[in-house]
Structure 1
Amino acid sequence: MNAFCRPAPWLALALMVASPALAASGPPPDFVLTDDADLAFASPDKATRLEQYMKEGEDFDVKWQVWARHGGEMTELKPEQGYPAGFRFTSDSQWLVRMQKTGSGEQDLHLYRVVNGTFTNATKTSLSDLAWAYFHSRTDTRKMKLDYHISANLVKGTEEAYRGLGVKWPDNRYLVISLSGEMDKHPKNVAVKGLADWRCRYDLKTGTFDVPAMFAKANAEALRWEIRR
C-alpha cells in the first residue's frame, strides 16, 4: 500500500470512534440462571425461550433479570425486579405479557411486542398502571380507593383467544385483565373489604380498554361493598 492509499492516523481513529464494538449480549456474570423449570417459558412457535437470572446481594437483596433467547441473540426484558415472573404469549408469538410479583399479594403486568425475536415495551407505562387508570376513570368505580394488596392479573386464555369464556373474539386481539385490592381507609358507615376479580378487556390493536357486557354482573359483585347495620 502506497502513501496515497494508506489511511491517515486521524482517520483511522475517527472510524474507530464512529464504529464502536457491539455490547455483549446476555446477563452480567454475577447473575445466575435459575434451574427451576417453572420459571422457564417458550413462545408458541418455539423460536424464543425466556430465561430468568438471579443475583443475591447483602441483607437479602435479591435481583431478577429476564432475558429472551432467540437464535444466537439475547434481549433483556426490562425492568429488573426483586421477584421472578410468569409469562403468557399470544398464539402468534407476537405479544408477551409479564405477570410480575412486586410484594406480598401484589402484582404488576408488563406488555411486550415481539418483532423478529426482539422484545420492546409495548406501552410507555406498565399495562397494570393503564388498567388501573381506566378503572379510576369510570363513573362506577372512580371513588374506590384501594390501599394494599393491589394486584393486576392476566386471565388465562390468551393463547386460545378466550374461547373458554364462550366468546368468539378474533385471535391475538384481546387481553382480559383482572384487578383486585383491599381498602383500609373508608367511610365510617361503610365496611369495605375491597375489590376482587374486577375484569376489563384490553385491545392490542387500538390500545384501549372496555368492559364487555358479559362482565357487568360479576364486576358489580367484585366491588364487595358491605353496609354496616
Structure 2
Amino acid sequence: MTASIRTARWLALALTLAAAPALAASGPPPGFTLTDDADLAFTSPDGATRLEQYMKDNGDWDIKWQVWARRGEQMTELKPEQDYPAGFRFTSDSQWLVRMQKTGSGAQDLFLYHVENGAFVSATKQSLGDLAWAYFHSRPDTHKMKLDYHISANLVKGTEEAYRWLGVDWPNSRYLVISLSGEMDKHPKNVAVKGLADWKCRYDLTTGKFDVPKLFAKGNAEALRWEIKR
C-alpha cells in the first residue's frame, strides 16, 4: 500500500469520526440511575431507538435528570440536563424527536432533535420553544404582548399521524404544531387571570420556518383575549 493511499484512508476515517455525534459507550455518569417509571420510557415508531431517563438525587431537593437515546449498543445523551423528567414525541419516520420539558411550575420548553449519522443530536442552536416565542414576538399582531409567568411552549399531539385529527392533509413527518401560553402580572381588578392561552403556530421541519395556517386564525384571536374574570 502506497503512502498516499494510506494517507487518504486515514483522512477519510478522521472526517467520518469528526462528523459523527459524540457517543458514550458507558452511558450516564456515576450517580445517575435509570427510572423505573414506565411512562418515562419512549420508543421510536421504527423500534430502533429507546429513550431512557436517568435521575441523580444530590439531596436538599437538588435532583438532576439526563435523557439517553439507546440505539443498539450505542447510547447518546440528549442534552441539556434538566431538573425534571420529560415527555417525548417522534415523527412517523423516526427521524425527528421533540422533547417536552418542564422547566418550573406551569412552565415548559421544547427541544428538537434529528437523526444524524445514526444518532439523535440537537437540531437547533436555541430551544424550539425559544424559537417559537421569537416568532410570536416578531409578528405585528402579537409582538406587544408581554407575559410574566407560567410561560409554556407545548407540542400539540399528532406528530405521528401528521395532524390528521385537525382535518388537514399535510405530508408525513413535515410539520410540528406548537401551542404557546402564559400569564400576565398586570390586569384589571375584576380579572383574576389574564394572558395567552393556546396560541398555535406551525414549524416546518424541512425549511426551519414558522407560519400560522388559516385554520388557527379564529382560535389564535381568542387566545390573545384570554382572561378569567373574578
Do the aligned partners of 2:49 and 2:69 also contact (CA within 8 Å) in 1?
A: yes
Deviation at 1:223?
A: 1.0
Once residues 149 and 137 of structure 1 are traced to their aligned partners in structure 2, the CA distance between those partners, rounded to angstroms, is: 20
Once residues 152 and 36 of structure 2 are traced to their aligned partners in structure 1, the CA distance between those partners, rounded to angstroms, is: 27
1:187–1:139 CA distance, 2 compared to 1 (3 A): farther
Name the counterpart of 2:165.
164
Q: What TM-score, normalized to structure 1?
A: 0.85
Residue ranges of structure 2 left out of the alignment (5+ in a row): 1-22
Once residues 25 and 119 of structure 1 are traced to their aligned partners in structure 2, the CA distance between those partners, rounded to angstroms, is: 17
Comparing 190-199 and 127-136, the one that deviates more:
190-199
Do the aligned partners of 2:100 and 2:111 also contact (CA within 8 Å) in 1?
A: yes
Deviations 1:155-197 (A, max 9, x none): 0000010001000001110000000000013589998700000
RMSD over aligned CA atoms reads 1.9
How many aligned residue pairs are there?
A: 206
Letter in 2 for 1:55: K
Whichever of the two has the greater Rg, that structure is 1
Deviation at 1:114?
A: 1.2
Name the counterpart of 1:31.
32
Residue ranges of structure 1 left out of the alignment (5+ in a row): 1-21
For 1:196, what is the secondary structure of its paired residue?
strand
For 1:156, what is the secondary structure of its paired residue?
coil
Once residues 25 and 172 of structure 2 are traced to their aligned partners in structure 1, the CA distance between those partners, rounded to angstroms, is: 36
Letter in 2 for 1:122: A
Do the aligned partners of 2:187 and 2:194 also contact (CA within 8 Å) in 1?
A: no
Deviation at 1:224?
A: 1.9
Q: What TM-score, normalized to structure 2?
A: 0.85
Once residues 91 and 56 of structure 2 are traced to their aligned partners in structure 1, the CA distance between those partners, rounded to angstroms, is: 30
The percent identity for this pair of structures is 83
Once residues 102 and 169 of structure 2 are traced to their aligned partners in structure 1, the CA distance between those partners, rounded to angstroms, is: 31
Once residues 35 and 191 of structure 1 are traced to their aligned partners in structure 2, the CA distance between those partners, rounded to angstroms, is: 40
For 1:218, what is the secondary structure of its paired residue?
helix
1:24–1:146 CA distance, 2 compared to 1 (3 A): same
Q: Does 1:58 align with 2:59?
A: yes
Once residues 45 and 212 of structure 1 are traced to their aligned partners in structure 2, the CA distance between those partners, rounded to angstroms, is: 30
Deviation at 1:29?
A: 2.1
Once residues 132 and 53 of structure 1 are traced to their aligned partners in structure 2, the CA distance between those partners, rounded to angstroms, is: 29
Letter in 2 for 1:185: K
Deviation at 1:51?
A: 0.1
Name the counterpart of 2:100.
99
Once residues 199 and 138 of structure 2 are traced to their aligned partners in structure 1, the CA distance between those partners, rounded to angstroms, is: 14
Please show how residues 1-229 of structure 1 align to structure 2 within 5 Å: 24-185=25-186, 193-224=194-225
Deviation at 1:24?
A: 3.9
Once residues 24 and 34 of structure 2 are traced to their aligned partners in structure 1, the CA distance between those partners, rounded to angstroms, is: 20
Deviation at 1:117?
A: 3.4
Do the aligned partners of 2:57 and 2:63 also contact (CA within 8 Å) in 1?
A: yes
Deviations 1:130-154 (A, max 9, x none): 0000000001110100000000000
Once residues 41 and 162 of structure 1 are traced to their aligned partners in structure 2, the CA distance between those partners, rounded to angstroms, is: 20
Name the counterpart of 1:14.
none
Deviation at 1:91?
A: 0.3
Letter in 1 for 2:33: V
Once residues 226 and 42 of structure 2 are traced to their aligned partners in structure 1, the CA distance between those partners, rounded to angstroms, is: 39
